[in-house]
Amino acid sequence: MCQFANYASYCGATFPPPARLYRQMRWEWGVRNKDEESRGYGGCAGDCNHSGGVVRGRGYTFIIFSQPKAADPEERWIGLERDGAVYRIGTIGGEAYESQVEASSVALFGQPYICLAGYCGANCAVEHYIEVKDGMPVPLLFLNAPARVADWNGDGMNELLYQEGMPLDVVLIQRWGGKLISASVGEALHAAKGVSYDDAARRFILYNEQGEQHYRVAADGNFLELVSR
C-alpha cells in the first residue's frame, strides 16, 4: 500500500518539492476594501441617468444607470435602490450588455453574499460581491473577470477562483485572518504552458512538455502537492 512518507516521495517515485501556494493579497488588480462606504445619490438626480435597467435578487432591487460626466458614455453603473434613493456600488459593464446583468445569491467564505455580474465586452466580465447591512450595500470584492465559486481547498466552505491570461493561469481567492488573500497557481508551479482547474476532482492541472501533472491543495493550505503525473 502506497502512502505519503513526505512531500518528496510517493510510491517510490521522486517528485519535485511542493510549491508554496499563498502570498499576501496585493490590491493593484482592483479588489476594494470591504469597509469602503457606498455613496448615496438621491434618486440619481443630477448625478446619474436611470437607463431603465432593473435587477432583483434576494429581495433587493438594483438600478442600472449611466453618468453624464463619465469618460465613457456607454459605461453602465449599478446601485441599490432604497426609499427612492440609489446607492452606487460600481461599474457593471457596457450599454450593449445591460440586459445581461444578473444578481444572484452565493455562499462564500462561510457567509451569504450577493453577486452582481455584468459584461464590458465579448471577453470582459465585471463582478461585485456585496452584502447589505442596515439597508446599505457593503462591497466585499470587485473583479474584472468571471469568477467561479468552488471549495478548492476542501475545507467545506466555498472560496473563489478565476482564470486569466495566456498561457492560462488560475488565481485563487480566500479569506485568511479576516482578510482576502490571493495566489497564482501558475506562478507557484512555474507553469510555462498554463494551468487549469478540474472542479469535480478538485485538482489543478499543470501542462508541460511531458503532458499533464495534477496537483491539489495540501491539508495545511500552504502548499500544492502532486497527486498524479
Count of structural domains, the chain: 2
Residue 229: its pLDDT value, please?
Answer: 67
Same domain, 126 and 213: no
Q: Tell me, what's the pLDDT at 188? A: 83
> What are the grid coordinates assigned to 19, written together?
510549491
Boundary residue ending a domain (143, 161, 179): 143
Containing structural domain, residue 196: 1-28+147-229
| Cis amide leading into 146 (omega within 30) | no
Do 119 and 182 fall within a single domain?
no
Asked if 38 and 134 sit in the same domain, the reply is yes
Most confident range, picked from 9-23, 157-171, 180-194: 157-171
Same domain for 119 and 202? no
Same domain, 72 and 168: no
Q: What is the CA radius of gyration of the chain?
A: 21
pLDDT value for 58: 61
Domain C-terminal end among 103, 119, 143: 143
Identify the band that residue 37 occupies on the pLDDT scale cut at 50, 70 and 90: very low
Assess whether 42 and 139 both reside in one domain. Answer: yes
List the grid coordinates of 64. 442600472
Same domain for 24 and 44: no
Going by C-alpha positions, the residue among 181, 160, 161, 159 that lies closest to residue 169 is 161
pLDDT for residue 39 is more than 80: no
39 and 127 assigned to the same domain: yes
Give the pLDDT score at 57.
Answer: 60
Are residue 91 and residue 190 in the same domain, yes or no? no
Q: Say whether both 100 and 161 belong to one domain.
A: no
| Rounded CA separation 111/106 (Å) | 8
Q: At residue 33, does pLDDT exceed 90?
A: no
Mean pLDDT for 11-19 is 35
Select the more confidently predicted residue: 102 or 39.
102
43 versus 68: which is more confidently predicted?
68
Cell representation of residue 23? 502570498
Instruction: Tell whether the model's pLDDT for residue 190 goes beyond 90.
Output: no
The verdict on pTM exceeding 0.85 is no
Under 8 Å between Cβ of 187 and 119: no
Across the chain, mean pLDDT equals 75
Regarding whether 228 and 153 lie in a shared domain, the answer is yes
The closest of 95, 47, 90, 53 to 75, measured between CA atoms, is 95
pLDDT value at position 1?
Answer: 27
Which of residues 143, 162, 185 is at a domain's end?
Answer: 143
Burial class (CB in 10 A: 0-12, 13-18, 19+), 57: middle
pLDDT digits (tens, 9 = 90+) for 58-106: 678 999 988 777 678 788 989 998 888 888 898 899 999 999 999 999 9
Confidence grade of residue 123 (pLDDT, cut at 50, 70, 90) = confident
**Residue 80 CA to its chain's centroid (Å):** 21
- How many Å apart are CA 68 and CA 74, to the nearest integer? 10
Higher pLDDT, 166 or 79: 79
Round to whole Å and give the CA distance between 22 and 198. 19
**Would the pLDDT of 212 be above 50?**
yes
- Give the pLDDT mean for 190-216: 89
Quick one: cell of 203? 485538482
